[in-house]
Amino acid sequence: MTKEISSEMIRELRERTGVGMGKCKEALVLSEGDMEKAIDHLRKVGMAAGVKKEGRETKEGLILVSEDKQALVIAEANVETDFVAQNDRFKHFLHDVVKQALETKPKSLEDFVLQPYYKDRSITIDQYRNLVIQALGENIQLRRVEVIHRHPNSSYGIYSHMGGKLVVIVEIEGASDQEAIAKEIAMHAAAESPDFLKPEEVPAHVMAREEEIARATVEGKPANIVDKIVAGKIRAFVDQVCLVHQKYVKDNSVTVQQFLDICAKKVGKPLSIRCFWRWKVGQ
């Protein structure tokens, strides 16, 4: 059975591709309502060059980070409306969550919600969540909690944007006192939304999909130049989605890796990005 094409789906596809509403509807009909297939179709026919990786936000909430000498904790809680997301009671709940997670360092969200709440050990974290739901009158979900254990020779940069709706953490290996550099790169990642750290981390099926789309856009061209064009498109894709290959947002004459190399020379230590976390509410 073909999925019904709603006006919201058409608007989302338009927001993500910049293509007109009529063509977006056609693409969704051809793709039987599959958003990603519709995007691929528009790219193959040359109508969508750049695609926003993020569609409309479907949830409200906040993301919060807390840290101590051993670890960092990042947690996201979702609510129905931004009005409640800005409520002090909801914010207090999330603060309590990260404080307890930093102390207990749970292995999973499932384990964490069953822990006794540190301020009232007669109830669990999940029961505490239900009490806040009753008080605020909206559904509240603790969506994810992650513990990041510190490495002794690493620096961690934290950047929170839009009042906690977007949070990035970057870990730089090679020195334990370069938080400022790590935060600069975290700010870049917030703005440029990389999907991967480096080309080796891009999954094979993602590369295959990009090659298929690239070849579809050069059909009919002489065979001797098709491979060169496709290779160029793949390089451009990697430069777009890999953090170390992106043009540094504060100086697009250098890549993020080149910016880090310049910083490494200044501090006299080899530095590298070990990993990054980019969390957006509802994503």
For residue 118, what are its two tokens?
Answer: 């540190």
Q: Worst-scoring range by mean pLDDT, 41-55, 92-106, 164-178, 249-263?
A: 41-55
pLDDT in tens, 72-100: 999 999 999 999 999 999 999 999 999 99
What's the mean pLDDT when you consider all of the chain? 92
Question: What average pLDDT does the segment 239-248 reach?
Answer: 97
- Cα–Cα dist 144/222, whole Å: 50
Question: What average pLDDT does the segment 197-213 reach?
Answer: 94
Q: What pLDDT does residue 1 have? A: 52
Task: Please tell me which residue, 255 or 22, carries the higher pLDDT value.
Answer: 255
Q: Cα 176 to chain center, whole Å? A: 25
Question: What average pLDDT does the segment 209-214 reach?
Answer: 91
What CA–CA distances, in Å, run from 201 to 24, 52, 237?
31, 20, 13
Q: Phi/psi of residue 117, each to 5°?
A: -70, 130
Coil, strand, or helix at residue 70?
coil
Coil, strand, or helix at residue 5?
coil
Amino acid at 58: T
Cα atoms in the Cβ-side hemisphere of radius 13 Å centred on 131: 12
Nearest to 188, CA basis, from 231, 136, 131, 244: 244
Q: Worst-scoring range by mean pLDDT, 16-25, 171-180, 262-271?
A: 16-25
pLDDT in tens, 157-190: 999 999 999 999 999 999 999 999 999 999 999 9
| Beta bridge mates, 167 | 160, 279
Q: What pLDDT does residue 50 have? A: 64
Count the Cβ atoms, other than its own, within 10 Å of residue 69.
5
Domain residue ranges of the chain, discontinuous segments joined by +: 1-56, 58-150
Amino acid at 69: K
User: What is the topology classification, in CATH, of domain 1-56?
Assistant: Helicase, Ruva Protein; domain 3 (1.10.8)
Task: Give the percent of the chain with pLDDT over 90.
Answer: 78
Pairing verdict, β 71-79 and 141-149: antiparallel
For residue 269, pLDDT beyond 90: yes
DSSP string computed for 164-188: TTEEEEEEEES-SS-HHHHHHHHHH
For residue 273, pLDDT beyond 50: yes
- Cα–Cα dist 226/209, whole Å: 16
**Domain 58-150, architecture per CATH:** 2-Layer Sandwich (3.30)
